[in-house]
Structure 1
Amino acid sequence: MRKYQGLEIGLLFTCLLFIAACDQEKVQVEKEKHQATHVVVIGSEIEGVYLARAAIDEGVSVTILDPREQPGGQLIQGQMQFLDEPVDDQNHSLLQGRVKELFSRYKSGEIRKANEFEQYFNSLIKGIPFESGISITNVDRVKDTVTGTQKIKSITYRTKEGADKTISADYWVENTDFNALVGGLELERMPGIETVFGGAQVYMAASIMMKFRNVDWGKFQGEMSQLTKKDIENKYGATTTVTDKFTWGFGNVGAAFTPSSREVFLRGLNAINQRDGEVLINALLLFHVDPSDKDSVQAALERGKAETLRILPHLREQLNGWDKAEINGFPDYLYIRDYNRYQTEYVLQASDLMGGSMFWDNVSIGGYPIDLQGTASHTWGQHSGDPDKYGMPLRSFIPKGFANVILAGKNVGASSVAYGSARIQANTSLAAEVIGILLGHLKGERDLSKLTQKDMQDMHEYLKNTYGITLNGVTAKNKLSGLTEDQIHQLNIGKLLLP
C-alpha cells in the first residue's frame, strides 16, 4: 500500500511542477505580449531614427515599430539619396547635429552608393529594439476632463507573423510617410497643396529615383566648362550647373521629353555622381500616389520603372557622356514628398520663413527655397521665395490636443506653402534629434508639451554646451520688409511669389 501511496505522491508532485511551469510560461507569454518602454517610434524614416538614437544616448528606452516590410523608408528603400543641404543667404551651411556628419561624408564621396547609405543607417539603429511589418490594430488613449488634452496609453499591433502584442509608452512618435499612427486619432487635417493650385484634395508628386551606370561624368562635366553661361541656358535651361559631384537645372531636357501619360512627368535633373560611372537622378514625378495604399504605391513603382526605360534613350541623346548609359536597377519604394498633415500647436507659415522668424522653443534652424513640387494639373510646380533662414518650434511637431504624441520628418506642422521648405530632410532631422535629446534629458520628469520659455532656455544651453547645437541667439534676414498685410496673406496662400 505504501508503495502505491509513494507513487501517488510522486505523481502529484510532478503535476504540481508541470502546472507551475505552465503558469510561468503563461506569464512569460503575457509579458512578451505586453511590453513597456519610454518612447515608441512608429516608422523608420531617418528623422525618427535620429530621434530614437538621441533619446537612447541620453539614457531612456526606445522601441521602433515599422509598418513597412523593410526599414529605411525614403532614404534606404526609396533610395532618395540626392541630399539637399540648407544654406543661408551667405551660402553658409545650416547643418547641425548628426545629419551634419552624414552630409560631410556624402560631400566627400565616402557615402554615395546605396550600400554605403545602408551601412550608415544600420549604424544608427544598431542596438535599438526594432520590428518591421507591423500593423496597428488598436490605440488606447485617455482624455483629461479638465483640459481636454488626450494621451496615448498603449497600442496593440499585429506582427508580420500574425501575433498580437500590446506596448505602452510615455511618448509616441509618428515617423511614417502615411500617418500610420496619427491617421487614426481624428485630428484636423491641414489644407494641402490644393489651396495653392486649386481643385480637389491633392498632394505634391511622388518620385521614383532613376539609377544609371556607364556614364562618363568627366565628359559630361567637361562640356559645361566649354560652354558660355548663355549657351548653357539656351541648350539646357536656366540655372543648369554640373560640378564634379552634382547637377541641377536641365529644365529644357525635361521639357523636351514626352511623357507616356498624364500620370508621369520629367522635370529638371537633380543628379548625383555616385562614382564609377554610376549616377542617381531625382526628376521623374509620379502623380496621384497614395502612400497608405500598397496597391497605389506598387502601381506607381511600375509606372516609374516603365517610364525610366523610355527616358534612357532621351538622356543618351540629350546629354554628352551618356551615349553608353544603362539602367542600374530600380529602388523598392518611392520618394513620397507629401501626404496628409494635421494641425499642430503652432503651424509654420510662409511669412515665418521669409521673415526669418525665430521662436523661444526652436528645435531646428531651417532653410531652403520654398519649393512646391508639381501636381498633375500644375506639373512644373512653383517657387514661392528664398528664405535666409528660420526657426522651427517644438510646437510645430506636437499635434493639437495631444500631450504625448510627436510628429517627425515630413509630418511637420507647416502650411501648404511653408511646407515647400520646411519638409526638407536636413531641417526636420535636426528637429527630431533635438526632440530626442529633450526626451532623454527630461526622462519623463517634465511634460514635453508644457515646457516653459525658461525650460527651453536651459535646454538650449545644454544643447549648445553638450552637442554644439545652437538654436538661440540666431538672427535672420527679414524679407517681408515693405509688404502690406494683404501681400503677406497672399504669400501665405501661395498667390504672391517673392524673388
Structure 2
Amino acid sequence: MYTRSYTCIQVLREEQQSTDTSTYRKTFRGGIVMQVHDQWDVIVVGGGTAGAPAAIAAARNGAKVLVVEKNGYLGGASTSALVSPYANHYDAHGEPTIAGLFKEILDSLKEMGACHGPIRPKEGNPPWGKNPVITPFDDEYLKFVLTKMAKDAGVSFLYHTLLKDVWVEDGVVKGITVFNKSGAHTLFSKVIVDCTGDADVAVKAGAKTVKGREKDGEKMPVTVYCRVGNVNVDRVEEEIKRNRDNFRWYAIGSAEGDLPAGSQRKQLFCSGFWQEIAAAKVNGEYNIGRETLNLFTNVREGEVTVNATRVNFIDGTNASEVTAAEVELRYQTMSVVDFLRKRVPGFEKSFLIKTANEAGIRETHRIIGEYILTQEDVVKGTRFDDVVARGGYAIDIHNPGDSKSTWIQVDDSYDVPYRALLPVELEGLLVAGRCISATHEAAAAVRAMPSCVAIGEAAGTAAALATTRGLTPKTIDVQELKQVLTQNGVLLA
C-alpha cells in the first residue's frame, strides 16, 4: 500500500492542470513511468457482476465514470468464470426481490434470444428459496449487453489493467495507480467503487477486513465451470425420475413464450449422481473432492453447464495458489467430461464446448463496514431503514476444506443496508459485490450474482449522488439515495 502525502498528490495535480492535454507521461520516483489522467467523478475498479452495473448506474446519474477491468470485457463471474444460470431472486411469495438494472439486463438478453426465464420449477425440490426461480442466460451475449449499456450511459473503459496502489490522504481515498502494457497510470477520482470481489482497493487503502471464515480464516473452495453440448436432456430427466434417491435436489421447468430456433424449452437443474460418482471413485476414475455434480441446462438445445470441480485451501488473493489451482482444475474438468460420457445417461454423445477462462473464487476479503450483515439478518429477513438492495437466495456455503456444502434456508427476502458498503475509518470509497461487510454465512447468500448486480447499482448510484452533490459516500442523504433507486426501478420493499 502506498499512502502518499498531500504534497505528492498536489504536485501531480498542479502539473496535470498546467498541461494542455488531458494525458501526459511523467517520470516519478525512481524513474517509474506514470501516465496521469484528469480527475474522474467516479472510478469503478472491477467491471464484473457488481462493477458493470455500478459503472452504468453512476454514469446514468450524472457522473463522469471510468471502469478499470483486468479482462477485455465486462461481466466478471457471469462471463469470465462461466457461472450460469442466475440464481434465485424471488421471495417466499413468488415476487421478485431484484429489478432495476438486473431486470433491464434480462430483458435485453431476452430480446436477443439469449435468456430464458425466470424459470419456475414445476417439479422437484430445489433449495434456492421457498418459491424459487432460476434464469439461464448466454454469457457471450451478456458481454455485449453490458458493454452496450455502459457505452450508451457514457462510461469510459480501461481494460487489461490491474490495480497497483491506492492513494490515501488523511483517511480519504483520492486515487489509484494501475498497471497495464502501457505502463503505470495514476488516476484521481472523487469517489472510488471497489468491485474487485477481493476488496483489493480497500485492502491497499488500509481498510479493516476479514478473510474467509471468521473462526479460522479458511475460505470456500474454488471451481472451474464448463459447458458441454449434444446432451439428451430427456434422457437425463428420465434418469432423475427413475432414481430420485440418487440426487440431493432437482428441478424441472420450461421456458415460456415464443423461443428462437435452436432454443431449449425444457429446463433441468440437478445436484447428485452419488451412485455414479461412488462407482467411478472405486475404479480410480474420479478424483475430485466433491460429493455431488451439479448440472444446469442452458438456453441452447442440448447444452448443459457443469459445476463439479473443486480445489480447497486456496487463497484467491495469492497468485501462486490460484495458478496451481487452475492447473489442477483443468485436469479435473477433463475428468468430469469423460465421467459424464461414460457413466451418466444422456451424455453418451456429449462433447466439451467451453471451459471458464478463470476459476470462480467464492470468498476472500470482506470489509469491516459501518454494519456487518449476519446470518440472522439473512435468515429472518431483518429490515433496515438504509436498505439499498434485497435478495432471496439461500445461504449457500461450500464448506472450506470439505467435500460437502451447507444450505441454510431463508424465511423470506432480506435487506442489504447501505452501511455494509461503507468501510470503517475510510472515506471516498464504496465497496460492492461479494466483498461487502458481511459474515462468512451472510456473504454466502449475497454473493449470488443477482444480489451483486443490485448492490453494484446501489453503490454506483450513491457514488454519483456524492459527486453531483459535492458530498462523500458517508455524508449523502440515504433517503434520497433510496428515492433515486426506487425511481430507477429498484425494489426496496
Q: Same fold (TM over 0.5)?
A: yes
Deviates more, 1:416-425 or 1:118-127: 118-127
Give the letter for the 1:319 counterpart.
Answer: V
Return closer, same or farther for 1:266/1:177 CA change in 2, 3 Å cut-off: farther
Tell me: higher relative CO, structure 1 or 2? Use CA pairs within 8 A at least 6 residues apart: 2
Q: CA deviation at 1:240?
A: 2.4
1:394 paired with 2:418, answer: yes
1:74 matched to which residue of 2? Answer: 77
2:329 matched to which residue of 1? Answer: 304
Return closer, same or farther for 1:322/1:270 CA change in 2, 3 Å cut-off: closer
Q: Answer whether contact 2:41 2:64 (CA < 8 A) is retained.
A: yes
Task: Kindly provide the CA deviation profile for residues 360-405 of structure 1, in whole angstroms up to 9, marking residues without a partner as x.
Answer: 11110112111111222x2202223323111110100111111211
Q: Answer whether contact 2:105 2:146 (CA < 8 A) is retained.
A: no
2:397 matched to which residue of 1? Answer: 372
1:157 paired with 2:152, answer: no
Q: CA deviation at 1:204?
A: 0.3
Sequence identity percentage: 20
Q: CA deviation at 1:299?
A: 2.6
Question: Aligned partners of 1:440 and 1:26: how far apart in 2?
Answer: 25
- Gaps of at least 5 residues in structure 2 are 1-17, 27-34, 119-134, 254-265
Give the letter for the 1:107 counterpart.
Answer: H
**Candidates 151, 154, 157, aligned match of 1:130:** 157
Q: SS of the residue aligned with 1:239?
A: strand
Q: SS of the residue aligned with 1:33?
A: strand
Give the letter for the 2:185 counterpart.
Answer: K
Q: Answer whether contact 1:269 1:283 (CA < 8 A) is retained.
A: yes
Return closer, same or farther for 1:395/1:57 CA change in 2, 3 Å cut-off: same
1:342 matched to which residue of 2? Answer: 367
Write out aligned runs for 1:137-156 (5 A): 137-143=164-170, 150-156=171-177
Return closer, same or farther for 1:383/1:375 CA change in 2, 3 Å cut-off: same
Task: Kindly provide the CA deviation profile for residues 210-249 of structure 1, in whole angstroms up to 9, marking residues without a partner as x.
Answer: 221111123323554xx3xxx5322x22322343223123
Q: Answer whether contact 1:360 1:456 (CA < 8 A) is retained.
A: no
Give the letter for the 1:357 counterpart.
Answer: T
Q: Answer whether contact 2:74 2:143 (CA < 8 A) is retained.
A: no
1:484 matched to which residue of 2? Answer: none
Question: Aligned partners of 1:45 and 1:391: how far apart in 2?
Answer: 22
TM-score with structure 1 setting the length: 0.78
1:17 matched to which residue of 2? Answer: none
C-alpha RMSD of the superposition: 2.8
Write out aligned runs for 1:38-437 (5 A): 38-68=41-71, 71-103=74-106, 105=110, 106-108=115-117, 112-126=137-151, 127-143=154-170, 150-162=171-183, 164-190=184-210, 192-193=212-213, 195=215, 200-224=216-240, 227=241, 231-234=242-245, 236-243=246-253, 244-250=266-272, 252=274, 255-256=277-278, 257-258=280-281, 264-265=289-290, 267-376=292-401, 378-437=402-461
**Candidates 29, 43, 62, aligned match of 2:24:** 29
Question: Aligned partners of 2:287 and 2:340: how far apart in 1?
Answer: 20
Which has the greater radius of gyration?
1
- Gaps of at least 5 residues in structure 1 are 1-22, 144-149, 475-499
Q: SS of the residue aligned with 1:171?
A: strand
Question: Aligned partners of 2:294 and 2:23: how far apart in 1?
Answer: 55
Q: Answer whether contact 1:80 1:209 (CA < 8 A) is retained.
A: yes
Q: Answer whether contact 1:214 1:325 (CA < 8 A) is retained.
A: yes
Write out aligned runs for 1:472-491 (5 A): 474=493
Q: Answer whether contact 1:370 1:387 (CA < 8 A) is retained.
A: no
Deviates more, 1:387-396 or 1:327-336: 327-336
- Tell me the matched-pair count: 428
Question: Aligned partners of 1:429 and 1:71: how far apart in 2?
Answer: 12
Q: SS of the residue aligned with 1:410?
A: coil
Question: Aligned partners of 1:253 and 1:212: how far apart in 2?
Answer: 21
**Candidates 426, 436, 456, aligned match of 2:478:** 456
Give the letter for the 1:309 counterpart.
Answer: M
Q: Answer whether contact 2:86 2:136 (CA < 8 A) is retained.
A: no
1:438 matched to which residue of 2? Answer: 462
Q: Answer whether contact 1:370 1:384 (CA < 8 A) is retained.
A: yes
Q: SS of the residue aligned with 2:50?
A: helix
Q: Answer whether contact 1:267 1:284 (CA < 8 A) is retained.
A: no
TM-score with structure 2 setting the length: 0.79
More strand by share: 2
Q: Answer whether contact 1:152 1:405 (CA < 8 A) is retained.
A: yes
Q: SS of the residue aligned with 1:215?
A: coil
Return closer, same or farther for 1:138/1:300 CA change in 2, 3 Å cut-off: closer
Question: Aligned partners of 1:274 and 1:299: how far apart in 2?
Answer: 32
More helix by share: 1
Return closer, same or farther for 1:108/1:420 CA change in 2, 3 Å cut-off: closer
Question: Aligned partners of 1:364 and 1:102: how far apart in 2?
Answer: 17
Q: Answer whether contact 1:254 1:267 (CA < 8 A) is retained.
A: no
Q: SS of the residue aligned with 1:308?
A: helix
Return closer, same or farther for 1:111/1:142 CA change in 2, 3 Å cut-off: same
Task: Kindly provide the CA deviation profile for residues 90-109 of structure 1, in whole angstroms up to 9, marking residues without a partner as x.
Answer: 23332211112334532249
Q: Answer whether contact 1:265 1:284 (CA < 8 A) is retained.
A: yes
Deviates more, 1:325-334 or 1:236-245: 236-245
Question: Aligned partners of 2:273 and 2:214: how far apart in 1?
Answer: 24
Q: Answer whether contact 2:22 2:38 (CA < 8 A) is retained.
A: no
Q: Answer whether contact 1:253 1:268 (CA < 8 A) is retained.
A: no
Q: Answer whether contact 2:293 2:306 (CA < 8 A) is retained.
A: no
